[in-house]
Amino acid sequence: RELWLQNLSLTSPRWLKDRDEQLCRNTPRPQPWHFSHRVSGLYIFDRKAFRPVINYSIPTQVNISFTLSAILEVDAQLQLMTSFLWLNLIWYNPFIRWNPEECGGISKLSIATENLWLPDIFINEFMDVDQTPTGLMAYVTSQGKIRYDKPMKVTSICNMDIFYFPFDEQNCTLSFTSFLYTVETMVLGLEKDVQEISNISQNLMQNKGEWILLDIRQTMMRMAVDDSQYDQITFYVAIRRRPFLYIINLLVPSGFLMAIDALSFFLPAESESRAPFKMTLLLGYNVFLLMMNNLLPDNGTPLISVYFALCLSLMVLSLLETVFITYLLHLVTTQPPPMPRWLRSLLLHCTSPRERCLTAPQNSSPSSNDLCSPCLGLCLSLGLKEPVELVGKVPGPQEAELNGCPESTRTQQEDEAQKQHLVSLWVQFSYMMDTLLFRLYLLFMAISLTTVIVLWS
């Protein structure tokens, strides 16, 4: 102002000088610039759209780190993971520097980000609109180091494999890169070690939801687009599902129903309540699957769906086998059909020597009948009636003499013995079918339990 007034006195007439001097006195004095507005004699905020470098051929180093604080949702159908993280960006601005001794010992300031140049770092897998709040602040040190912490709700695409549901582990990626600046103008780096990022994220995980964080790994690469190359840092986020909810609601009820269906084999085969009991179990299992269908993934075929399909198939097979045996035992009481030779050979081959005594004719020697009695007791203990009870009691020799028809009675005894022999073969066949199916149930349940233990561990 003094210099301006001095120039007026040298170049202007008296009346013009008095008018301009009066105008200058009435004009308010400009406020002094704060050092956050002017640093090293440069007004940097007019240049915030440009990359802050002294030599434009030198690329800007931007260091990246983040803290994953919550896994909000994982959508297996849409292949999306929604998470909340704090993104940390650090770079240097050579034009923002001051001497703390000349500025009251202040070595660190917070400045609104709208007054700073910001690197355009984005996530390649981002599938939603950036909802970062406005009016955020950045920290600036006296050496020109800028730290920008940005909260982000990230909805990113994730390639998921749900075959081992609910014991599945997913590996989602977060790739950070620049949209405008190539490797000639911007270079990306890590502010923290990836193991430190993983440990901090696991300690700060705020929600106790369905997913837990296992580990975070990273790789650095250069992405080629046309003739340009861009720096890219890819983080691999490994997460695992908590399976306890699905074990309690899906696997345990299914296992109980299968165990009850297996115990139903101890009911007598000719009992009228065995088939209705199995039909009730089958109906209850179908209702259970319909009620718990919303807990299963909507896409793909996980292993647990295969397990449910096998359980349902075994229960249907068991019901069909019960119906067949009931019909077979009813048929042999009236007119037992002849057994094919190949089936008889298979039956003799698959049964033990103690069980083969059932195939012996009833008119054999007393020693043979003595051997047969333990086997018949075994059939009775498993719920099968003795063949004599199924076809009726054969009249003895004394009863035949009293009737006065010894020859016809002898022929009738032979026919009845042959009939009892066929009945014993069909009874043993039904027992063998029950045994094989029961053992198949036990094998399936043992394999299922072992698989659950292995996958859970």
Please report whether residue 7 resides in a domain.
no
| Domain limits for position 283 | 243-343+414-456
**Same domain flag for 139 and 43:** yes
Residue 253's alpha-carbon distances to 287, 302, 307, in angstroms, are 12, 18, 13
Q: Are 343 and 424 in contact (CB under 8 A)?
A: no
H/E element holding 427? helix 406-456
Q: Which pLDDT belongs to residue 407?
A: 60
Burial of 444 (0-12, 13-18, 19+ CB in 10 A): middle
The answer as to whether 216 is a domain residue is yes
Same domain, 148 and 271: no
- Boundary-marking domain end, from 220, 241, 262: 241
Question: Two tokens at 389?
Answer: 């009870």
Q: Is there a single domain that holds both residue 249 and residue 233?
A: no
Query: Looking at the structure, do residues 70 and 206 belong to the same domain, yes or no?
Result: yes
| Omega of the bond leading into 166 within 30 degrees of 0 (cis) | yes
Per-residue confidence (pLDDT) for residue 372, from 0 to 100: 39
For position 432, what pLDDT does the model report?
Answer: 82
Provide the pLDDT for residue 413: 67
Domain identity same for 278 and 424: yes
CB 74 within 8 A of CB 239: yes
Residues 280 and 303 in one domain: yes
Closest Cα partner for 62 from 118, 126, 133, 141? 118
Q: What is the CATH number of the domain that holds 433?
A: 1.20.58.390
Is 393 among the domain residues? no
pLDDT of residue 173: 94
In this prediction, the residues of the chain whose per-residue pLDDT falls under 50 are 1-17, 19-42, 44-45, 353-394, 400, 402
Encode 300-309: b = buried (16+ Cβ within 10 Å), e = exposed. eebbbbebbe
CATH number assigned to the domain comprising residue 143: 2.70.170.10
Domain final residue, candidates 215, 241, 267: 241
* CB burial of residue 403 (10 Å; 0-12, 13-18, 19+): exposed
Give Cβ neighbours of residue 68 (< 8 Å, ≥ 6 apart). 83, 84, 85, 201, 205, 213, 216, 237
Asked if residues 194 and 234 have their Cβ atoms less than 8 Å apart, the reply is no
In a domain, 352, yes or no: no
Q: What is the pLDDT of residue 391?
A: 46
The answer to whether residues 436 and 320 belong to one domain is yes
Among the candidates 241, 266, 295, a domain finishes at: 241
| Residue 171 pLDDT | 93
Are 222 and 302 contained in the same domain?
no
- pLDDT confidence of residue 355: 46
CB 70 within 8 A of CB 206: yes
Report the pLDDT value the prediction gives residue 348, as an integer from 0 to 100. 64
Residues 193 and 325 in one domain: no
Please give the pLDDT value at position 33.
37
Number of H helices, E strands in the chain: 12, 10
Asked whether residue 324 falls in the same domain as residue 236, the answer is no
pLDDT given for residue 134 in this prediction: 79
Whether 182 and 255 map to the same domain: the answer is no
pLDDT in tens, 40-89: 444 544 567 788 888 888 899 999 999 999 998 899 888 999 999 999 99
Question: What's the pLDDT at 300?
Answer: 80
395 located within any domain: no
pLDDT of residue 342: 67
Angle between the 252-263 and 274-291 helix axes, to the nearest 10 degrees? 170
Is residue 372 situated within a structural domain? no
Q: Based on the fold, state whether residues 36 and 170 are members of the same structural domain.
A: yes
User: Identity (one letter) of the amino acid at 157?
Assistant: I
User: What would the pLDDT profile of 286-316 be if each residue is shown by its tens digit?
Assistant: 999 999 888 888 888 899 999 999 999 999 9
Q: How far apart, in whole angstroms, are the C-alpha atoms of residue 83 and residue 155?
A: 7
Tally the domains of the chain: 2
Token pair belonging to 353: 């020597």
Is 430 inside a domain boundary?
A: yes
Distance CA 415, CA 412 (A): 5
pTM of the model: 0.69
What pLDDT does residue 370 have?
Answer: 39
Q: Which residue stretches of 210-273 are H helix? A: 244-246, 252-263
Residue 394 is assigned to a structural domain of this protein: no
